[in-house]
Amino acid sequence: MPYLQLALPCRASEQPRYEHALEDVGALAVTLADAHADAPDEQAIFEPGVGETPLWEELTLTALFPHDADPLVLLAALEAFDPGLDWSRARFEDVADQDWERAWLDQYVPLKFGRRTWIVPWNHALPEGADAADAAVVRLDPGLAFGSGTHPTTALCLQWLDALADEGALHGARVLDFGCGSGILALAALKLGAAGAVGIDNDPQALTATRDNAERNGVADRLAVFSPDAAPQDAYPVVVANILASALIELADVLAARTAPGGRIALSGILAGQEDEVIARYASAFADLRADRQDDWMRVTGIRRG
């Protein structure tokens, strides 16, 4: 199946804003490459690695959209989302999916988060350390549409879950992954000792990807997935929501209701500078709110008031 590809030049300092806007309007995948690379074997970078920044000052940013997406509608949505960016240089073309899938498999390598959490592509051998007795290994095949763990928003959540496991807060607990995408956070929680997990997403493809990844990891019997309107109205001792700041603010009452008294919450997908508004929105329902940063992204955590 072909895809619609958007390509445009940008500076490294603008890259987080461009990527944030593209993800908001439904980009299935985003890659970065050197804008001045002439070598035929130039390799794209699929999201900067954990703790890393792009290698080049001037980038070519490329995003994939469904093949039936309307370029004019996309441009209008992007300009409305961030009118301060220059979208006039965007160029569209149709591309086949085979090269993208192969490049993704070539670029995606095992990653470690915290003390013992590993995200390993399904076709990759376990690296040293991931074969330890207490390692929590998630075998992931997110495909084109969903995160692999390399983006700072996901990395921040994985690090938080790993720390919770060390505290014993995940042992036997039920976890809610709101905006589950590939299911990576719910899967990590289960591998770290959670008794069960629920994934919620408004994208049917995300629910399918989460189910498939749960089967791959042998935890399908402990992970249930729902659309928001079909999800049970339970409260959970651990809640993680890796979505956008605007959605976190809008869903504050919902997420507070889904967090059990004394429960822990992690909110991610927040650009630096947006954390104060998120904290203010959650302050009435959560204590000990704090913000932690990785690159240009923030994670807010707190404890549900009784």
Does residue 109 surpass a pLDDT of 60?
A: yes
pLDDT at 283 over 80: yes
On the question of a common fold for 3-104 and 150-304, the answer reads no
Which has the higher per-residue pLDDT, 296 or 232?
Answer: 232
The model's pLDDT over 47-88, given as tens digits with 9 standing for 90+, comes to 443 334 444 678 888 888 888 899 999 999 999 999 999 999
Cβ 62 vs Cβ 53: under 8 Å: no
Asked if 102 contacts 29 with a C-beta cutoff of 8 angstroms, the reply is no
Q: Is 213 annotated as a binding residue?
A: no
Has 201 been labeled as part of a binding site? yes
Query: Which candidate, 145, 227, 218, 231, places its Cα nearest to that of 187?
Result: 218
Partnered with residue 266 across adjacent β-strands are: 240, 301
* Beta-strand relationship, 174-178 and 196-200: parallel
Instruction: Please state the pTM of the whole predicted model.
Output: 0.70
Domains of the chain, residue spans:
3-104, 150-304
pLDDT (tens digit, 9 = 90+) per residue, 172-217?
Answer: 999 999 999 889 999 999 999 999 999 999 888 788 889 989 999 9
Which H helix or E strand runs over 58?
Answer: strand 58-66
pLDDT tens, position by position, 246-265: 899 999 999 999 999 999 99
* Cβ-Cβ contacts under 8 Å for 286 (sequence gap 6 or more): 256, 259, 265, 302, 303, 304, 305
Residue 50 pLDDT: 36
- Of the pLDDT bands very low, low, confident and very high (cuts 50, 70, 90), residue 108 is low
Q: Which amino acid is at 141?
A: D
d(CA 195, CA 75): 44
Ordered DSSP codes for 61-95: EEEEEETT--HHHHHHHHHHH-TTS--TT-EEEEE
Structure tokens that stand for 15 in this block? 């890259």
Q: Is the pLDDT confidence value at 42 over 80?
A: no
Mean pLDDT over all residues of the chain?
85
State residue 43's pLDDT score: 41
103 phi/psi in degrees, rounded to 5? -65, -40
Question: For residue 18, what are its two tokens?
Answer: 């461009």
Q: Is 154 annotated as belonging to a binding site? A: yes
The fold of the 3-104 domain, in CATH, is: Alpha-Beta Plaits (3.30.70)
Contact at 8 Å (CB) between 159 and 119?
Answer: no
Residue 206, token pair as written in the block:
């995300």
Model pLDDT, residue 149: 59
At 275, which amino acid appears?
E
Does 49 show up as a binding residue in the annotation? no
Q: Is the pLDDT of residue 295 over 60?
A: yes
84-103 mean pLDDT: 75
Task: Assign 31 a pLDDT band (cuts: 50, 70, 90).
Answer: confident
Q: Give the pLDDT confidence of 114-161 residue by residue, as tens digits.
A: 999 999 887 778 989 999 999 999 998 644 334 555 678 888 999 999
- The pLDDT confidence band at residue 97, using thresholds 50, 70 and 90, is low
Please give the average per-residue pLDDT across 220-238, as a whole number. Answer: 97
Burial class (CB in 10 A: 0-12, 13-18, 19+), 88: exposed
Report the candidate in 158, 141, 138, 139 with the shortest Cα–Cα distance to residue 150.
Answer: 158
Reference 242, options 181, 166, 171; nearest CA is 181
CATH number listed for the domain at residues 150-304: 3.40.50.150
